[in-house]
Amino acid sequence: MKPIRKLAFVVNPEKDGAPELARALIALAERAGATIKQTSTFPISAGFLKEQDACCVIGGDGTLLGVVQEAVREQVPIIGVNRGSLGFLTTFSADEARTHFAELLAGAYRVTHRSVLDCSTGSGLHDIALNDVLIKDEINSRLVRLEVHADKELVTDYTCDGLIFSTPTGSTAYNLSAGGPIIHPGVEAIAMTPICPHTLSNRSIIFRQDVRLRIYSRSKGAKLLVAMDGQRNLVFCEGSPVEISISPRTLPLAQRLDYSHFAVLRTKLKWSGGFVEQRR
């Protein structure tokens, strides 16, 4: 890849060790001749990533999600350095960042393009999500009846706590906790997973990449909350549908040349495919 000469930093000062790590990486970048800009505010302001070669996010996955809209708009690759807990999106550890940052700045990285969801409501609200779109009643304790259509064809209706519409990237987030499938991020698809449906059968559905989904509220008088990546909420009343599709734009994500999605799953989720006999 091309060397990084203009580098933006987004640093979460609430994360332990993030400011100190940022200072160390900024020093490395400046020694390599890169021009630096920095902020500790996220979501970042419009235009902050304009004409940048990359953006280094130091924090957790929530910090990175606050950069997604601008990174998608400007098509600037994100370098995620984890100072949070799991860190599925912020795939560089602090030690890896310190050790390999000079090489990365010189071009030793690859960029993968992650699909994002485009979500709009009939009331004119619009947003994008990297992980998931959650649709539920505005009041947490209420069941909601939701009717799902795919390309004008009725799929089914659910009486449930809500529905999660997930990208492959977000399949290891809320979707996984609700019993949904793990999807490799190279796949272009949308997973729909009901949350606590009032039924004896409960299965996720995987939709093809060019599907256009419409979700209607059939709960009289209900206000629906549409949560984008668990960070931004759209609220509207019954009548108009929520429309969800895969955006034509993607999120560029910078990764090490030896990055392995399955290694991340094994490490972060302590995941193993079989029984391992313990030696005595």
Residue 246's pLDDT is: 98
Residue 215's pLDDT is: 95
Question: pTM for this one?
Answer: 0.92
Residue 68's pLDDT is: 96
Residues annotated as catalytic (active site), given as ranges: 61
Low-confidence ranges of the chain (pLDDT < 70): 237-239, 273-280
Domains and CATH numbers, the chain: 6-109+256-269 (3.40.50.10330), 116-248 (2.60.200.30)
Residue 275's pLDDT is: 58
Residue 237's pLDDT is: 63
Residue 280's pLDDT is: 54
- pLDDT tens readout for residues 183-219: 999 999 999 999 999 988 889 999 999 999 999 998 8
Residue 273's pLDDT is: 65
Lookup result for tokens 């599907």: 211
Residue 278's pLDDT is: 58
- The C-alpha atoms of residue 18 and residue 21 are separated, in whole angstroms, by 5
Q: Is the peptide bond before 194 cis (omega within 30 degrees of 0)?
A: no
